[in-house]
């Protein structure tokens, strides 16, 4: 084999000279310390790729063909949310994160050569802090669910392990709950639900209060609820109840909703979590997303916070500079006693969110949120005109996610819509005992035109009408 575009020293001539300088006769000599039993001789016969190198022409052709076998719903765009949202990604966001200086950089361990990346991450933290009105934001977690799981572990540490119960809403995102359980089970944490009213979709405060006690580490709220879209109007009261029993208050948010709703910092939240996915990341079939975590200005909370923090400081010439801070919380310093094992995170997604928020500003974000609100409410009304459809199902206010009850199983209807070129809805059966087979979550955003909503309504009428 000769040279290779990505392996500059692969040419046998170059390699031979290097081996001579090392003082060995062959590459094999550099592996002579691997005991025979541990060596693997059959490598070249392994069915990996085509066996040997391919040209870029062939690689691009293969990828093009594979991406061609992905069905993309454009007209209309997907009406599917569930803790992630179809939203427009401004082209500038994508361009900035593709710049090699950001894209191909490592964690900024050497601040002097990484000032731009550090500043961009500091700006992400700062923009998110304004959105949430929380003082400290890290950058970052894998997604909403892992930010929540780590927030829960943090709450247990905050109480020095003396409180190990978590109260979560009955309608909580089922997958977030599974992740929460996987992370907290080894630490003897018990996750318990508080009731949500089946008529309004709002928390039953009395039920929450009856469950509170000296062993509750934290109360968690989704705001709005990811699986029903309902905006919890008692968000302050829930926080007060949590604090009244000495528990921490964790609020999980859709960041775009913060354009319209009081931020967690004004609801008494100690920790805010959420997903930065709608801030210019796209759906990406599962990831990369952006786990958000924020805490208020409290040394005990900050010291227990996992993940990377960037801070503003000065350099030796007195100029403003940025660096990774409070690293004694992290694994590379504290090892087994670290606040988390997290290292690689979603830094580039945080940069994307920073670009997105800088572009949209307060008015742009509000505009996107308002458009989504109007179009979603129009959709809820249009669907209510379809025979047999209850829309919206719940009495509580919503923004752009809402629940409908269909006269047929939601999974079946979803399939029928898909055959008509429409991807819509998350079936809700089992999310709460009172959500049944016909219940479905729908999502409408700035990607949807009026005619898209009309297409959905017409297709739904057809799907429900036929046998």
Q: Taking CB under 8 A as the criterion, which residues in 154-173 touch another protein?
A: 173
**Distance from C-alpha of 395 to C-alpha of 24, rounded to nearest angstrom:** 77
Which one, 34 or 213, has the nearer CB to another protein?
34
Shortest Cβ 467–another protein spacing (Å): 22
Interface characters, 105-134, with another protein (x: CB under 8 A):
xxxxxxxxxxxxx-xxxxx-xxx-xxx-x-
Residues 228, 345, 391, 403: which binds another protein (CB under 8 A)?
A: 345
Shortest Cβ 407–another protein spacing (Å): 22
Question: What token pair was written down for 260?
Answer: 């319209």
Does position 403 interact with another protein (CB under 8 A)? The reply is: no
Which one, 120 or 219, has the nearer CB to another protein?
120
| Direct distance between the N- and C-terminal alpha carbons of the chain, in angstroms, rounded to an integer | 63
Letter string b/e over residues 183-201, b meaning 16 or more CB atoms within 10 A of that residue's CB: bbeeeebebebbbbbbeeb
User: What does 158-199 look like in DSSP terms, one character per residue?
Assistant: HTTTS--EEEEETT--HHHHHHHHHHHGGGT-EEEEE-B-TT
**Distance from C-alpha of 321 to C-alpha of 119, rounded to nearest angstrom:** 8
DSSP state letter for 238: H
Shortest Cβ 321–another protein spacing (Å): 4
Q: Which residues contact 258 (CB under 8 A, 6 or more apart)?
A: 131, 132, 365
Interface characters, 270-289, with another protein (x: CB under 8 A):
------------xxxxxxxx
Shortest Cβ 11–another protein spacing (Å): 10
The size of the interface with another protein (CB under 8 A), counted in residues, is 211
Among positions 7-46, residues that touch another protein (CB under 8 A) are 7-10, 14-15, 18-19, 21-24, 27, 29-35, 37-40, 43-46
Interface characters, 305-344, with another protein (x: CB under 8 A):
---xxxxxxxxxx-x-xxx-xx---xxxxxxxxx-xxxxx
Among positions 170-189, residues that touch another protein (CB under 8 A) are 173, 175-176, 178-179, 181-183, 186-187
Q: What are phi and psi of 155, to 5 degrees?
A: -65, -40
Does position 228 interact with another protein (CB under 8 A)? The reply is: no
Shortest Cβ 142–another protein spacing (Å): 4
Does position 239 interact with another protein (CB under 8 A)? The reply is: no
Compute the half-sphere exposure of residue 457: CA atoms within 13 Å on the CB side of its CA: 23
Residues 190, 234, 409, 416: which binds another protein (CB under 8 A)?
A: 234
Shortest Cβ 295–another protein spacing (Å): 10
Interface characters, 444-463, with another protein (x: CB under 8 A):
--x---x-------------
Shortest Cβ 209–another protein spacing (Å): 18
| Closest among 34, 424, 403 to 196, alpha carbons compared | 403
Question: What token pair was written down for 225?
Answer: 């609820």
**Distance from C-alpha of 10 to C-alpha of 56, rounded to nearest angstrom:** 17
Interface characters, 406-445, with another protein (x: CB under 8 A):
------------x----x--x-------------------
Does position 235 interact with another protein (CB under 8 A)? The reply is: yes
Q: Is 250 helix (H, G, I), strand (E, B) or coil?
A: strand
Shortest Cβ 434–another protein spacing (Å): 22
Among positions 353-382, residues that touch another protein (CB under 8 A) are 354-355, 357-368, 370-371, 373-375, 377-378, 381
Question: What token pair was written down for 35?
Answer: 């005991």
Which one, 214 or 430, has the nearer CB to another protein?
430
CA 217 from centroid of its chain's CA atoms? 24
Shortest Cβ 89–another protein spacing (Å): 5
DSSP state letter for 78: P
**Distance from C-alpha of 287 to C-alpha of 303, rounded to nearest angstrom:** 29
What Rg value do the Cα atoms of the chain yield, rounded? 26
Q: Which residues contact 86 (CB under 8 A, 6 or more apart)?
A: 77, 78, 79, 80, 283, 443, 445, 447
Among positions 188-227, residues that touch another protein (CB under 8 A) are none
For the four alpha carbons of 161, 207, 264 and 297, in that order, the dihedral sign comes to negative
Among positions 39-98, residues that touch another protein (CB under 8 A) are 39-40, 43-54, 56, 59-60, 62-74, 77-78, 80, 82-84, 86, 89-90, 92, 94-98
Does position 103 interact with another protein (CB under 8 A)? The reply is: yes
Residue 66's alpha-carbon distances to 69, 71, 336, in angstroms, are 5, 11, 43
Which one, 34 or 214, has the nearer CB to another protein?
34
């Amino acid at each position: 084999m000769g040279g290779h575009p990505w392996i500059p020293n692969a040419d046998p001539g170059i390699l031979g000279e290097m081996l001579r300088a090392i003082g060995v006769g062959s590459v094999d000599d550099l592996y002579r310390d691997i005991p025979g039993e541990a060596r693997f001789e059959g490598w070249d016969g392994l069915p990996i790729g085509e066996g040997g190198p391919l040209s870029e022409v062939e690689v691009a052709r293969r990828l093009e063909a594979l991406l061609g076998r992905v069905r993309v719903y454009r007209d209309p765009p997907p009406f599917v949310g569930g803790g992630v949202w179809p939203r427009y990604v401004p082209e500038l966001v994508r361009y900035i994160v593709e710049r090699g200086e950001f894209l191909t950089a490592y964690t900024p361990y050497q601040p002097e050569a990484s000032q731009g990346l550090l500043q961009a991450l500091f700006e992400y933290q700062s923009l998110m802090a304004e959105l949430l009105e929380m003082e400290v934001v890290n950058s970052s977690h894998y997604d909403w669910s892992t930010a929540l799981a780590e927030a829960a572990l943090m709450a247990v540490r905050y109480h020095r392990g003396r409180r190990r119960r978590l109260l979560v809403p009955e309608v909580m995102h089922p997958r977030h709950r599974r992740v929460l359980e996987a992370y907290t089970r080894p630490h003897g944490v018990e996750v318990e639900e508080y009731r949500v009213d089946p008529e309004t979709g709002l928390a039953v405060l009395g039920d929450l209060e009856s469950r509170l006690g000296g062993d509750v580490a934290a109360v968690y709220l989704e705001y709005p609820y990811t699986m029903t879209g309902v905006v919890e109007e008692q968000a302050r009261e829930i926080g007060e109840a949590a604090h009244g029993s000495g528990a921490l208050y964790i609020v999980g948010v859709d960041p775009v909703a913060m354009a319209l709703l009081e931020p967690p910092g004004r609801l008494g939240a100690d920790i805010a979590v959420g997903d930065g996915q709608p801030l210019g990341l796209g759906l990406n079939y599962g990831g990369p997303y952006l786990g958000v975590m924020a805490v208020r200005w409290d040394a005990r909370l900050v010291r227990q916070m996992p993940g990377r923090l960037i801070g503003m400081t000065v350099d030796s010439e007195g100029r403003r500079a940025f660096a990774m801070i409070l690293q004694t919380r992290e694994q590379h310093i504290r090892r087994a006693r670290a606040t988390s094992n997290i290292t690689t995170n979603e830094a580039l997604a945080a940069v994307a969110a920073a670009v997105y928020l800088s572009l949209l500003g307060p008015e742009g974000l509000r505009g996107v949120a308002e458009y989504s609100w109007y179009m979603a409410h129009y959709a809820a009304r249009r669907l209510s005109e379809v025979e047999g459809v209850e829309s919206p199902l719940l009495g509580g206010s919503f923004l752009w996610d809402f629940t409908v009850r269909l006269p047929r199983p939601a999974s079946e209807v979803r399939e029928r819509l898909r055959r008509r070129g429409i991807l819509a809805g998350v079936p809700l059966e089992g999310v709460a005992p009172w959500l049944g087979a016909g219940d479905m979550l729908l999502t409408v955003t700035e990607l949807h035109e009026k005619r898209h909503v009309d297409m959905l309504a017409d297709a739904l009428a057809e799907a429900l009408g036929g046998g």
